[in-house]
A and B are shown apart, each in its own frame.
Chain A
Amino acid sequence: MIVPALNEEGAIGLVVESIRACLPGTPVLVIDDCSADNTITVARKAGAEVLALPHHLGLGGCVQAGYKLAYELGFEYVIRVDGDGQHDAYDIPRILEKLKTSGCEMVIGARFADWNGTRTSLLRRMGIAFFRMVLRPILGKPVHDPTSGFVGVNRRALDLFSRSFPLEYPEIEALVVLQRKRFRFEEVPCKMRPRQAGRSSINAFKSLYYIVHVLLGVFINVLRFEGRRRVPPPES
């Protein structure tokens, strides 16, 4: 389990404890993106190992550090849970099961795959609907919740993401990175709760920047598709 966290001292303890209660014996790694509060102390006290970044890298750099370490330690499956407590630890076994049985490289815990009592803001719902529309032709199949940070990956995706992972707002771009390699993903309906403490890093002003940034990232990744490169004709 990897849990990226930035200034989450109010929620990280509960997140780690709920994971450990749900999956006893599973290693929990909190990646601290140079928090200014006591995130590291609280996470360690709750029983997690902590990968402390020397300075702030942003969400993508933070998650990728966890993927790199997990890959080097030889893990077959890694599940990422956000450090703000929005994800229900009791959904983790279903994501892991889907990873193992489907053979796909990534499983997304999706808030829209089944309603399940999940609520989210209108702005976020509009953003998700927009990116679902953009991603549909690129991925060749619908994705219900492309912005979800509740994600499980197997070793093949771990290898890929250790080498190439979007640094800012990584969830949507990561799907396109995955598609570049013709890797597959599945979705599992999950409950999402309101964040347990702290505030989201994405505010109204950042939303426009987010859309432009992610669209550009998606576009650049589409240009890098290996299948679309011109292959020179074989010499006769």
Chain B
Amino acid sequence: MDHLLNVTTALSILLMVIVLVSVRRAHIRPEYSVTWLIASAVMLVLSRMPSALEALRRLSGLPDTPLTLFLLGAGAFLIMVFRFSVILSHLRDDNIALAQRVAILEFQIKSGNKS
């Protein structure tokens, strides 16, 4: 159990560092890094506070603590993937509308130049 918590601690810290470096290098916009930072911070706190993790396990009625930690991580990951799917869908809609507008404006400019 201790070994598992040490591994999740290391992974949480690694994730935080990667996200912060990516934001600094402008690979991720700050608004999209917040979810990752919160998720890694929560994982870090739970890994370093077994009592909190144990309280969560009892609250959820799950049989063991590693499973609780795993489900929490998977849940956070699913929420983030869903959030990014929503963002991607908006971006795709905006992108299509923009591409159509560019094509129409270009068409109208060329038609104007001809006449």
Contact = CB atoms under 8 A, between A and B. Distances in A.
Contacts, number: 33
A138 interface: no
Interface in B57-115: 96, 99-100, 102-104, 106-107, 111
Contacts of A49: 107, 111
A74 interface: no
Interface stretch (A53-61, A105-113, A218-226): A53-61
A217 B106 CA distance: 32
Contacts of A129: none
Contacts of A68: 100, 104
B104 A57 contact: no
A64 interface: yes
Contact residues on A (Cβ < 8 Å of other chain), bracket: 10 to 19
A55 B97 CA distance: 12
Contact of A55 (B99, B104, B106, B107): B99
Interface residues of B, number: 9
A139 interface: no
Nearest to B93: A167
Interface in A34-62: 49-55, 57, 61
A54 B104 contact: no
Interface string A148-188: 00000000000000000001000000000000000000000
Nearest to A167: B96
A57 B99 CA distance: 8
A167 B100 CA distance: 12
B50 to A, nearest CB: 44
A72 interface: yes
A65 B104 contact: yes
A57 B92 CA distance: 10
B100 A52 contact: no
B78 to A, nearest CB: 20
Interface of B: 96, 99-100, 102-104, 106-107, 111
Given A69-B107, A72-B104, 13 more contacts: A49-B107, A50-B107, A51-B103, A51-B104, A52-B103, A52-B106, A53-B103, A54-B102, A61-B96, A65-B99, A65-B104, A68-B104, A167-B96
